[in-house]
């Protein structure tokens, strides 16, 4: 489920970067160019966060798989890691939603 959520965010992020590239093809004022640079940096940052979350999910999955093969139950450390990962993904979803809203307002203003 987490990977599907990250896939969706990644696809949306690609779409937003493409929309930004389309806007930059048109002459913009200096202030709008600064905002475009801000959004580009934010989109790249989200790509990095997505990659890190994917890595964390893979590590968590490997650890749980290893424990199930040897017959171990999830310990407190594993449960705490999973709770942190859940929290991090929820935070990413909220931040991305906010960024998307801000970018859509930027697009409206530049039209």
**Rounded (5°) CA angle 49-33-52:** 5
Question: pLDDT tens, position by position, for the chain (111 residues)?
Answer: 899 999 999 999 999 999 999 888 876 777 788 898 999 999 999 999 999 999 999 999 898 888 777 777 767 888 898 999 999 999 999 999 999 999 999 888 876
Query: What's this model's pTM, rounded to 2 decimal places?
Result: 0.85
At 105 the pLDDT is: 93
> Can you tell me the distance from the alpha carbon of 22 to that of 41, in angstroms, rounded to the nearest whole number?
16
**Measured at the alpha carbon of residue 9, what is the angle toward residues 47 and 5, in degrees to the nearest 5?**
120
CB 67 within 8 A of CB 78: yes
pLDDT of residue 27: 63
pLDDT at 42: 98
What pLDDT does 99 receive?
Answer: 98
What token pair was written down for 45? 């940052």
Distance CA 95, CA 98 (A): 5
């Amino acid at each position: 489920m987490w990977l599907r959520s990250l896939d969706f965010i990644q696809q949306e992020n690609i779409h937003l970067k493409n929309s930004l590239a389309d806007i930059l093809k048109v002459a913009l004022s200096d202030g709008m160019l600064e905002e475009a640079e801000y959004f580009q940096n934010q989109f790249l940052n989200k790509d990095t966060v997505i990659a890190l979350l994917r890595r964390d999910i893979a590590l968590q999955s490997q650890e749980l798989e290893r424990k199930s093969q040897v017959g171990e139950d999830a310990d407190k450390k594993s449960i705490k890691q999973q709770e942190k990962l859940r929290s991090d993904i929820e935070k990413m979803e909220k931040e991305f939603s906010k960024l998307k809203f801000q970018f859509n307002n930027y697009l409206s203003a530049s039209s």
